[in-house]
Amino acid sequence: MKIYFAGSIRGGREDVEIYLELIRYLNQNNEVLTEHIGDKDLSVDGQTELSDAEIRKRDIDWIKEADLVIAETSNPSLGVGYELAYAEKINKPVLILHNKRTKLSAMINGTEYFKDINYYSSIEEARHILGEKVQNYL
C-alpha cells in the first residue's frame, strides 16, 4: 500500500523523532511516499532546493497516488491541515494520529469526514494503532 504520511515541517520539527519511528514502522509492509518527513536534517525551512509551487504540486500528486493518508497532527501545521482538507476533497481515506499531550484542532476533530482519529501516549501505542488500523484500508 502507498501511504502519504503528513507531519509538521515549517510548523515546527519537535516531533521529527516520532515521525521517523512511525515512517520506519509503516515502511516494513508499505511504501511511504513522504519519507522526508522523518528526516532529522530537514529543518523548518523545508526543502529549499524546490520552490513552494514545486513542493505543493509534488505533494498533491503524492496524495492522489496514495492509497491512504496518515497524518500525525500533534504539532499544529497549516500544511498538514491543507493536506487533510485536500484528502477530504478527493475522498482519500485518512487515518489521524494525535498525541494525548495536546488538544486536537476543532477544525479537524469536528469534521465528519475524519472518523479515524486515534489518540496515543507513547510511540509504542502509536505503532500498535497503526498495526491494527492500516490493514483495514487494504
Mean pLDDT, residues 48-65: 94
Residues 6+ apart with CB under 8 A from 107: 81
Across the chain, mean pLDDT equals 95
With a pLDDT cut of 90, the percent of the chain lying above it is 88
**Statement: residue 47 has pLDDT above 90:** no
**pLDDT digits 0-9 by tens, 77-123:** 999 999 999 999 999 999 999 999 999 999 999 999 999 999 999 99
Q: Is 19 one of the annotated binding-site residues? A: yes
Q: Is 124 one of the annotated binding-site residues? A: no
92 half-sphere exposure, CB direction, 13 A CA radius: 26
Which residue did the predictor score with more confidence, 116 or 12? 116
Tell me the CATH class for 2-137. Answer: alpha beta
Q: Is 87 one of the annotated binding-site residues? A: no
pLDDT of 46 = 67
Phi, psi of 63 (to 5 degrees): -60, -45
C-alpha cell at 75: 504539532
Question: For residue 73, what are the β-bridge partners?
Answer: none
